Structures are given as C-alpha cells and as structure tokens.
Amino acid sequence: MINKFLKQLEEQQVKFVDFRFTDILGAWHHMSFPVEAVDEKLLEEGIYFDGSSISGWRQIHESDMIMKPDFSSVHLDPFSVQTTMIVVCDIYDPRGGQPYTRDPRSIGKKAEAYLKDSGLATNAYFGPEAEFFVFDGVRYGVDSTAAFYELESEEFQSNNRREINESSHGHRPLPKGGYFPVSPLDSLNDMRAEMVTVMQQMGLKMEKHHHEVAPAQHELGFQFGELVETGDNIQIYKYAVRNVAHSYGKTATFMPKPIFGDNGSGMHVHQSLWKDDKPLFAGGGYSGLSETALYYIGGILKHAKAINAFTNPTTNSYKRLVPGYEAPVILAYSAQNRSAACRIPTAMGEKAKRVEIRFPDPLANPYLGNAVMLMAGLDGIRHQIHPGEPSDHNLFEELDIAATLPNMCGSLREALEALAADHDFLLHGDVFTNDFIQGYMELKWQDVLTYERTPHPLEFMKYYSW
C-alpha cells in the first residue's frame, strides 16, 4: 500500500500531503508535509504530535501520540492552491503501539470488528442526511459584560424591509416554507450544485441536493456506506460545505438550532444490518421488518437517552429537540411517521429495508454517533428487546397518546446523567472503554457548566427591571 501511495503522489504531481485526524468533538485537524519529506519510513512509522493540545486527549506529561495513515481514505484537496493529497489517519499510543482508546475513528473500527465477532451480522450500513444553514454573514461574541449574535441571509423575511437602493427582489421562503421551492425562492441552487461536484471529486457518491424547510437551510445526500467509511464521508461533506460556502463569500454552519422559531438541522441516519449477502432487517413483521430489526430498534429506544450524549452532543442540540418543528422528541417507532424517533421508510425490495433514526444532529462526531447506535442496536438483538407497539399517530398533535410515551433528553445535562447511569452496553468487546467515557463526559460537562453559568440576553430582557 505504501509503495502504491508513493507512486500515486508522483503520478498526480502532488506538492503536499495533508495528514488529518478527527478529535473527540468531531473536528478535523491536519498537518501538511511537502511531498519531498514523505517517504516509506514516515508512512510506516507514523507522525508524532502533541496530544495534550487536543481537547479530551492527553495530559502534558504524557503528550506524545502518533497518527498513522489509512490509505483506504485518500483524496485530492480541491481547495488548496498547491496540489495537495488528503490522507485520513488513525491515532496510536506510542507506549504500546496500539490504537488510542480515545480516537473516534479507531473506536469506529473496533465497533465494526465487534459486529463481525458477535456473529449477529457481518456488515452495518449507515446513510446520514446532514442538514445545514448557509448565511450571508454572522457576528457573535461573549465576554464577562456582553453577549450577542446576529445572522444575515438574503432569504430571511426581515430583508423585505430593506431600502430599495439596497436591492430587494421579494422572493423569499416563508417560515417553514422552504422545502423544495425552485429558484429564485431557492437562492443557492448553484452553490449546492458546486458542493455536490466538489464532493464527487473527493470520492463521495452523491445522490441529491435540495433546499430544506427553514430559510437558508439546505441538505445534500450521498450514498450509504459502512461505519468508518461513512464517518470519513461526513468529514469530507462538512469540509466541502464550509469551504464552498466560504468561496461564495458566505458562511455555513451545522449548528442544530441557529434560528429561533423555525426548524433546526438534524442528521437522520438510515441503518441496516447484513450477514454476508443477506439483508437482516427484511421480514414479515410490522412494515416488512424482521424480528432482528425490531430488536435493533428496541435497543436504540431503550438506550436512547444515553445515546443522546453522543448523537446530540451540544447544549444547542436540545433547542432543536422540542415539539413543533419536525424534531422527533418522542421515543417511538412508526412507518413513515416523522414525529417518531425511529421511522421505517418505504422501501422497494428486501435489500432496501432499513430503519431511520431521526434524533441525531450534524454536530455529532460521526464515528462515535454511529458506533453508539450500533452498540445499542446489537444490545437489543442480543437481549431480544422488543420496542412495543408502533405509534402510527401524529404525536405532535395527539397529545394524549404522546403523553403516554417516553421522551428524548431535554438537555445535555440530562443526556450526560443518562450516559453515566447507562453505558455498560458500550463496553462489550472493549469498543468503548470506561476511560474514554469518563474523558468524554468530563469534556462535555465543561460545555454544560459554562452554558448554565453564563447570563443570556433573554434574561436581561425578562428580568432586568424586576
């Protein structure tokens, strides 16, 4: 593999090699080498770096870490002026030469290995649908005596009050009215098309793009894949979205709820298990599901509140998970019902049978989020956890029925408390370790406490003159 990679660098006249890895929070980090410095020894031994500078990893007295390239995930960078090859890396502990237990991508690989070792299935496929917002401008700031944010978008209704000499074309989607309109209501069709083209250049098999429900909200779709492959693809997806928007003089965000009073951004994740060439979710049960699929759903619903800590990992995540904005706040499953946490999409044929988990959002670390859902689903299969009766009702309106069903977590605090009480299912096969879970919780508790202790502008408006 190394010799093949070195030959590829020469054939494509690459000038720099950009080694990248993903931290606990889901952010990409990189280190670039001129191609002349990249040789067989470097690629085989890996690249040392300071792990103490990465949030949630090492202390200063034990900081050395190694990133080693995985040559299955190699792409040219379309945004670099110099011809640059991106190589995705796994993180290793130099003291024992083993994959680092807090490296999200390595955890994803362990989840895939555990699936095969379990004998329950050989392959797990994930198809995420990550929504995002694109704004014309953003300003924000927080310090000890001030806090503010301000968003701008040509699609906001507030722009109807612009002075004529500043341009006001009048074509703007109404609140919750942005789903699938054509241009000029859909003002960024060409920008999304360029995002799709760039992602194709980076190896993604793209399927669609469209405007989403809220003003300035969008979604692109790419083909499903296995757990680690899908994690890599989401990282490419986010990188391409942000950089194409930046090249247009705009700014993209995957925040779940940047706008008050309209839909937030989710990341619905379609999932299925296979054993060799046999789809395991197709059967003769409810909506064409097998018992295996129902038990998989049962495991996810049982552990959903602990799962929230990974699939909805920010304080902003829970501003999306509220009733009234198509967000699935109720722990139920249903065929086609988008008000349930788990939906069974209409599928043509057994191979397309899958479940759609609707509560994750796009700030989830894709390796961790998918690994946690897989481990919960496998726990459901192993212990035959049936999800109960389906809920084929509009749970946003039939409140008497909704009141009988459990809800998602209402805050990151609640999610972390749930994870502390319910994480044994993650420890099977050493996929997750107690050390990782403890480190992850310590990192996320910092978010909770900072958020809860910071005065908010709304509090001044409501309470200043009491």
Active-site residues: which are they?
Answer: 50, 129, 131, 212, 219, 268, 338, 356, 358
The secondary structure of 53-93 as a DSSP string is: GSTTS--GGG-EEEEEEEEEEEEE-TT-SS-EEEEEEEEEE
Residue 166 is assigned to a ligand binding site: no
What burial class does residue 198 get, using C-beta atoms within 10 Å of its C-beta: 0-12 exposed, 13-18 middle, 19+ buried?
Answer: buried
Residue 224 is assigned to a ligand binding site: yes
Residue 207 is assigned to a ligand binding site: yes
Residue 351 is assigned to a ligand binding site: yes
Residue 52 is assigned to a ligand binding site: no
Residue 356 is assigned to a ligand binding site: yes
Residue 16 is assigned to a ligand binding site: no
CA nearest neighbour of 78 among 86, 87, 66, 88? 86
Residue 320 is assigned to a ligand binding site: yes
Residue 135 is assigned to a ligand binding site: no
CA torsion sign for 453, 457, 458, 459 is positive
CA distances from 305 to 56, 320, 421, 422, 443 (A): 22, 15, 10, 9, 18
Token pair 């049960």 in the structure block, residue: 285
CA nearest neighbour of 443 among 25, 16, 11, 18? 25
- Alpha-carbon distance of 287 to 280, in angstroms, equals 14
Residue 150 is assigned to a ligand binding site: no
Judged by DSSP in three states, 332 sits in strand
- Alpha-carbon distance of 455 to 201, in angstroms, equals 45
- Provide the H-helix boundaries in 248-332: 291-302, 304-311, 317-320
- Provide the H-helix boundaries in 102-226: 104-118, 189-201
Q: Which two tokens stand for residue 399?
A: 């409140």
Host H or E run for residue 417:
helix 412-421
Backbone angles phi, psi at 118, to 5 degrees: -65, -25
CB atoms under 10 Å from CB of 101, counted, come to 18
Backbone angles phi, psi at 284, to 5 degrees: -105, 15
CA nearest neighbour of 65 among 91, 36, 101, 34? 91
Residue 263 is assigned to a ligand binding site: yes
Host H or E run for residue 418:
helix 412-421
**C-alpha 270: how far from chain center:** 12
Residue 153 is assigned to a ligand binding site: no
Residue 5 is assigned to a ligand binding site: no
Residue 350 is assigned to a ligand binding site: no
Residue 129 is assigned to a ligand binding site: yes
Q: At what angle do helices 291-302 and 366-382 cross, to 10 degrees?
A: 120
Number of H helices, E strands in the chain: 13, 18
Residue 171 is assigned to a ligand binding site: no
Indicate the annotated binding residues for L-glutamate: 263-264, 320, 326, 338, 358
Indicate the annotated binding residues for ATP: 207, 222-224, 270-272, 338, 351
Indicate the annotated binding residues: 129, 131, 207, 212, 219, 222-224, 263-264, 268, 270-272, 320, 326, 338, 351, 356, 358
Indicate the annotated binding residues for Mg(2+): 129, 131, 212, 219, 268, 356
